Amino acid sequence: MKIRSPIVSVLGHVDHGKTTLLDNIRGTAIAHKEAGGITQHIGATEIPIKVIEEICKGLLEKYSIQRIIPGLLFIDTPGHEAFTTLRKRGGSLADLAILIVDINEGFKPQTYEALNILKMYKTPFVVAANKIDKIRGWKAHKNSSFLETFEKQVPKVQQSLETKIYELVGSLHEEGFNAERFDRVTDFTSQVSIVPISALTGEGIPELLTLLIGLAQQYLKDQLTIESDSPAKGTILEVKEEKGLGTTLDAIIYDGVLKQNDKIVLLTLEDVVVTRIRSLLKPKPLEEIRESKTEFKRVKEVVAASGVKIVAPGVKDVIPGSPLRVAKDENLEDIRNEIRKELEEVKIETDKAGIVIKADTLGSLEAVIKLLKEETDVPIRVADIGDVSQRDVIEAEVSKNTDEIYGVILAFNVKILPSAKTILEESGVKVFSNNVIYKLIEDYVDWMKEIKERRKKSLMESIIRPVKIRILPGFVFRSSKPAITGIEVLAGKLKPGYNLIREDGNVVGTVGSIQDKGKNIKSAKKGQKVAISIKGGIIGRNIEEGDILYSDIPEKDYKILSKQLKNELTADEQETLEEIVKIKRKVDPTYGTGYSLS
């Protein structure tokens, strides 16, 4: 048993300082050479605990943080795209994340995106409120702890920082997180810490690192405890062509040990591949590269947590985000099935109508599906990795025949192939494309809402709505052929063409035209007093002055109203509809049975 370094990923909006922060941490660590500097991995950089101790200058003692973990392994590629690629079954490969926000700009689209993804994977994170050196009047103190440099600022500057922090607290609150400046956090399990930093001057970085160490040791110990001689588990970060080596795999190993000659199981788009590791490579220190002209050095084995380049035959089609598992002869079949199942769990292919989703990696596909399901219950027909192809358009077109809102392709970070473009327009399939997942989903959901709204409207137009009118005594202009009389609309909206019934259920005639002050109008609403003609009505025979009449709602319209359009009716229309149902049942006791408004 050993405790490995937690894997840390940096996320945030473009230009908010992800790269600068990683560079600063690496640079500062390298400067502490005597303590061990940094350990370079493939795709990751490890900062040993001793170096962190030096950078943090006594903060670990101050906050009584033990030193159980060997260090922090930072993923070199920041951003949520790398983060979603670094998946592992049921979660993220990253044990911890830093969500970086430019304190002067606040939350931006990719900040929300990153937050959504962290939420989805339940990854613990701290917020780094970056660029505090840009606050007006700020006096920088290079590499100093935040509390020290804060103390030295004039009150106005301090106040300015506090205001900006509270804006971040507000944004996080809206997203369902309870957050505070780190030194005011009382419960690290339920509150998110905000650490003000400058990635440029290094201010606040001591606290940021201290916090990561503290959180990892306090809350992730089980997750970080591994058997260092068990077969390795990892995730493929990148599939890369390397001069003289062919296709290589950059992998992050989070459990066990990976050895040269190990048999490994990986995923391609279609299936599982089993191959044997020819060599394992690690980066050479800079000085050595200059001498030998190759960037890599061979190693016999690597133990988690570790980033390593794998040279093995037959890995050309392996997908980024693929799991990596070491198999022995006796458990090869089991592992093969397990890994295959993992692919099947994410990929979707059914014959039922639904939308098509295409994404660039397994992790992003998984994220799109999960976040879509949180927003809507729209069915999915195909979910797959890769560019949008002609086949995808055809699949979407088939779904479109069932329902227009399914004739859709959601494309995340992928291209539309030329062959797909040629048939796209004719197919009427709609492609939504965005590299921010929540925007992609939002666009689709908004579009879907619009269509549903439109449908409701036209449905509403096509059915008879509940109306109640009164024949105004003393305003009968003609008694028949057609009858013309003044009326008052008591509820709902009267339209030409509506059949009218009496309170006993008898049909008296059909509304011909509606006139207001001598002019024809299309409808009359509650409160209006107008003149109408009633075809088939004879005043004094089947209609009397002062009578209350209702619209005659066919049973099929009542069913639609009670099932789909209930919420579209005003309160007085609902009330009138109930009265109409009672009247209709006097004539036909089975009218609308099984349907109700409540």
Q: Which residues are annotated as a binding site?
A: 12-19, 76-80, 130-133
DSSP 136: T
What is the dihedral sign for C-alpha 11, 13, 14, 20?
negative
| Nearest by Cα to 382 from 359, 405, 361 | 359
Residue 104 engages ligand GDP in binding (rule: CB under 6 A): no
Strands 191-196 and 2-3, sheet pairing: unpaired
The backbone torsions φ and ψ at residue 213, rounded to the nearest 5 degrees and listed phi first, read: -60, -45
61: helix, strand or coil? helix
**Which pair of tokens denotes residue 481?**
């052929």
* Stretch binding ligand GDP (CB under 6 A), from 46-54, 116-124, 193-201, 548-556: 193-201
Instruction: Provide the minimum distance between the beta carbon of 438 and ligand GDP in the complex, in angstroms, as a whole number.
Output: 19
Q: Could you list the active site residues?
A: 80
**Residue 397's closest CA among 423, 434, 365?**
423
Site for ligand GDP contains 19 (CB under 6 A) = yes
Element housing 40 (H / E): strand 39-40
Q: In this structure, are residues 511 and 521 in contact, taking their beta carbons and an 8 Å threshold?
A: no
Distance CA 547, CA 413 (A): 66
Residue positions forming the annotated binding site for GTP: 12-19, 76-80, 130-133
Q: Which is nearer to ligand GDP, 15 or 229 (CB)?
A: 15
Comparison of 32 and 131: residue with beta carbon closer to ligand GDP: 131
- Taking CB under 6 A as the criterion, the residue among 15, 333, 374, 568 binding ligand GDP is 15
According to the binding rule CB under 6 A, does residue 14 interact with ligand GDP? yes
Q: Which of 32, 41, 131, 325 binds ligand GDP (CB under 6 A)?
A: 131
Task: Quote the CA–CA distance of 185 and 193 in Å, as a whole number.
Answer: 7
List the one residue from 65, 75, 199, 205 that touches ligand GDP (CB under 6 A).
Answer: 199
Q: How many residues bind ligand GDP (CB under 6 A)?
A: 16
Stretch that binds ligand GDP, among 10-18, 50-58, 343-351, 536-544 (CB under 6 A): 10-18
Strand order of the β-sheet with 39-40 is: 39-40, 44-48, 71-75, 7-12, 96-102, 125-130, 191-196, 178-181
164 binds ligand GDP (CB under 6 A): no
Q: Rule CB under 6 A: is residue 204 a binding residue for ligand GDP?
A: no
**Strand 430-434 to 178-181 pairing:** unpaired
Question: Interface with ligand GDP includes 17 (CB under 6 A)?
Answer: yes
Among the listed ranges 12-20, 147-155, 337-345, 520-528, the one in contact with ligand GDP (CB under 6 A) is 12-20
At its nearest, how many Å lie between ligand GDP and the CB of residue 54?
21
Fill in the DSSP letter of residue 442: H
| Residue 119 CB, nearest approach to ligand GDP (Å) | 20
Listed residue (127, 143, 141) closest to 55, CA to CA: 143
- Residue the block writes with tokens 């943090």: 56
Q: Does the protein bind ligand GDP through residue 202 (CB under 6 A)?
A: no
Q: Is the Cβ of residue 74 or residue 432 nearer to ligand GDP in the bound state?
A: 74
Taking CB under 6 A as the criterion, the residue among 12, 231, 256, 407 binding ligand GDP is 12
Site track for ligand GDP across 48-87, x = CB under 6 A: ------------------------------x---------
Question: At closest approach, how far in Å is the CB of 77 from ligand GDP?
Answer: 10
Which positions ≥6 away from 306 have C-beta within 8 Å?
A: 41, 44, 73, 252, 253, 258
Q: List residues near ligand GDP by CB under 6 A.
A: 12, 14-20, 78, 130-131, 133-134, 198-200
